Amino acid sequence: MQQSEFLNVVMPFKDKLYRLAKRLLVSKEEAEDATQEILLKLWSKKKSMETYKNVEAFAMTMTKNFCLDRLKSKQAGNLKLVHSNYQEKGSQLQTQLEAKDSVSWVEKIMQDLPEQQKMVLQLRDIEEYTNDEIAAMLDMQPTAVRVALSRARKTVREKLVQKHNYGIG
Amino acid sequence: MELDKIEKLVEKYFEASTTIAEEETLKEYFSQDAVAKHLEQYAPMFQYFSGAKDERFTKQLKLENSISKTTKSKFNFKWLSVAAVALLTIGIYFGNDYRLQAEEERIATEFAYQETKKALNLLAENFNKGTEKVAYLNHFEQTKQKIYNE
């Protein structure tokens, strides 16, 4: 497989990989590094890539595993403080949404969700994959995906309503 | 869009039983300004979800680096085998030389050993001649004793 061919395959979903990585790792730089790493891994596997049924789903699963490993090693390496101190500045999205404060609340609320719910919500509501696709990517039962999705949505709603009522939002 | 339909969809949405298309409808409804007062609290959710999709991976992909890296390592392996073969040839060549030299040396020592053995044999022979002569002397002694005793 040539490089241009590879890029054609990868281009449509590289942003999705990046967004999933960012959702899990929070920091922009780390998400970029993770995405880069995953694309390079894919490139090194380019010979077997044609045999995969769905490269996109495969890459998504890779991203999920990679980021979860990262998070785990980070916890073991006691780097968590650095991580939670991270404050994002100057991201396109952030500046765009600065006026709508309550919208960025949703992002903060999502940060507090358990990893699995985070991923399910990300893949479903932002990337708009079907539940079956998500189940395959995350190696879950389709019913479990639905339950996690419902829970995640309800948690976000609950916290959002709280903020709304306190007038913080 | 009728309000009660949206309400139903929102309800279904939180039970996670909406389809992708229905969620699309919801996102569309909440992205416009005329959202019903009692549904307003959900608006940030849908607005965030539609907005978050615009984030892009902007970092430049460096595939070239990785390519040269892999070919480089292959390159090294090739030269490693060449070096190994060269070393082996030199080893066999000089090793053979060394073996021949050792053989020659062995023959020389063997020859020297044989020569020494010959010389020692000669010596031993002459010694034996000596003892024969001494035997005559013995004979002479005996006769002398006989003469004295008589």
Reply yes or no on whether the pLDDT at A86 is more than 80. no
Please state, in angstroms and as integers, the Cα–Cα distance from residue B72 to each residue in A6, B78, B79, following that order.
21, 10, 11
Reply yes or no on whether the pLDDT at A60 is more than 70. yes
> Same domain, yes or no, for A55 and A126?
no
Tell me: the pLDDT tens digits for A107-158?
Answer: 888 888 998 999 999 999 999 999 999 999 999 999 999 999 999 999 998 8
Q: CB A125 to CB B23 under 8 A?
A: yes
> Same domain, yes or no, for A60 and A104?
no
> Same domain, yes or no, for A31 and A64?
yes
Per the model's pLDDT, the better-predicted residue between A77 and A21 turns out to be A21
Torsion, CA A148, CA A150, CA A153, CA A155, rounded to 10: -70
Chain-centroid distance of CA B38 in Å reads 70
Per the model's pLDDT, the better-predicted residue between A85 and B150 turns out to be B150
* Domains of chain B: total: 1
Q: CB B54 to CB A92 under 8 A?
A: yes
Nearest C-alpha of chain B: how many angstroms from A164? 7
Residue A120 lies in a domain: yes
Among A19, A40, A130, beta carbon nearest to B20 = A130
Residue A76 lies in a domain: yes
Confidence of residue A162 (pLDDT cuts 50, 70, 90): confident
> Same domain, yes or no, for A65 and A132?
no
Q: Which residues contact A60 (CB under 8 A, 6 or more apart)?
A: A13, A16, A17, A20, A123, A137
Q: Over pLDDT 90: what percentage of chain B?
A: 28
pLDDT at position B50, please?
A: 86
Rounded to two decimals, the ipTM of the complex is 0.76
Among B14, B58, B62, beta carbon nearest to A150 = B14
Indicate the residue among A34, A55, A87 that finishes a domain.
A87
**Residue B59 phi, psi (nearest 5):** -65, 145
Residue A92 lies in a domain: no
Give me B25's structure tokens: 């409808």
pLDDT at position B85, please?
A: 94
User: Are the CB atoms for A12 and A54 separated by under 8 Å?
Assistant: no
Give me A164's structure tokens: 């709304």
Residue B129 lies in a domain: no
> Same domain, yes or no, for A75 and A120?
no
CATH number of the domain that residue A40 is part of: 1.10.1740.10
Tell me: the pLDDT tens digits for B68-112?
Answer: 455 555 667 888 889 999 999 999 999 888 989 999 999 999 999
| Mean pLDDT across B119-123 | 94
For an interface test with B, give the residue of A105, A106, A117, A127 to mutate (most B CBs within 10 A): A106
Indicate the residue among A50, A66, A87 that finishes a domain.
A87
User: Are the CB atoms for A126 and B53 separated by under 8 Å?
Assistant: yes
| Mean pLDDT across A10-33 | 89
Q: CB B51 to CB A93 under 8 A?
A: yes
pLDDT at position A99, please?
A: 44
pLDDT at position A97, please?
A: 47
Structural domain range at position A159: 97-169
Residue B83 lies in a domain: no
Indicate the residue among A32, A61, A87 that finishes a domain.
A87
| Mean pLDDT across B3-25 | 89
pTM exceeds cut of 0.80: no
Structural domain range at position B32: 3-52
Within 8 A of B45 by CB-CB distance, chain A residues are 106, 153, 156-157, 160
Q: How far apart are CA B10 and CA B4, in angstroms?
A: 10
Q: How far apart are CA A169 and CA B136, in angstroms?
A: 142
Tell me: the pLDDT tens digits for A23-39?
Answer: 998 888 888 999 999 99
Among B41, B62, B67, beta carbon nearest to A160 = B41
Residue B143 lies in a domain: no
* Domains of chain A: total: 2
